[in-house]
Amino acid sequence: MQHWQLLDLLAWAGLLAFGVSGALVAVQKRFDLVGIIVLTGVTAIGGGAIRDVLVGSLPAGSLRNEPVLWLVFLVALLVWRFSHRLGRLERLIYYLDTIGLGLFAALGAERALTFGLGFWGCVFVGTVSG
């Protein structure tokens, strides 16, 4: 597998994990469907959008990538529709948050390296991205 393919796969996995996590929290807090979609989006792409602003990649990549935005919308709808079947939400939210945090922190640091940031810049951008 090529380097860029692996990074894309990890990015999609992180988007999915954080998106589901955000949607589950919104359902748990009894948000309406619009609120669930918004929290799903903020959770899934918010850190990456801030990362892109920090490294000077504008507009943010997630906002230019239509399939990413469709994934956010689809995840929100599916979690909203099937939330009653997901059982214990706290444990699932914890695991998805952990997966998303690890993936996005690593991808954020990799992106910072690509833009020529030094050690502490990469640490900062990776942390914010996660």
Give 84's DSSP letter: G
Residue 84 banded pLDDT, cuts 50, 70, 90 = confident
> What pLDDT does residue 63 have?
92
Total tally of structural domains belonging to the chain:
1
Question: Two tokens at 26?
Answer: 């919104």
Tell me the C-alpha distance between 12 and 122, whole Å: 21
The more confidently predicted of residues 3 and 23 is: 23
Residue 87 banded pLDDT, cuts 50, 70, 90 = low
Residue 31 banded pLDDT, cuts 50, 70, 90 = very high
> What pLDDT does residue 71 have?
96
Give 85's DSSP letter: G
pLDDT at 2 exceeding the cut of 80? no
pLDDT in tens, 97-123: 888 898 899 999 999 999 999 999 999
- List Cβ neighbours of 66 (8 Å cut-off, separation of 6 or more): none
Domain range enclosing 32: 3-129
Tell me the C-alpha distance between 36 and 73, whole Å: 9
This prediction has a pTM of: 0.86
CB 62 within 8 A of CB 69: yes
pLDDT at 3 exceeding the cut of 90? no
> Mean per-residue pLDDT for 13-40?
94
- List Cβ neighbours of 47 (8 Å cut-off, separation of 6 or more): 18, 104, 108, 128, 129, 130
Length of the chain: 130
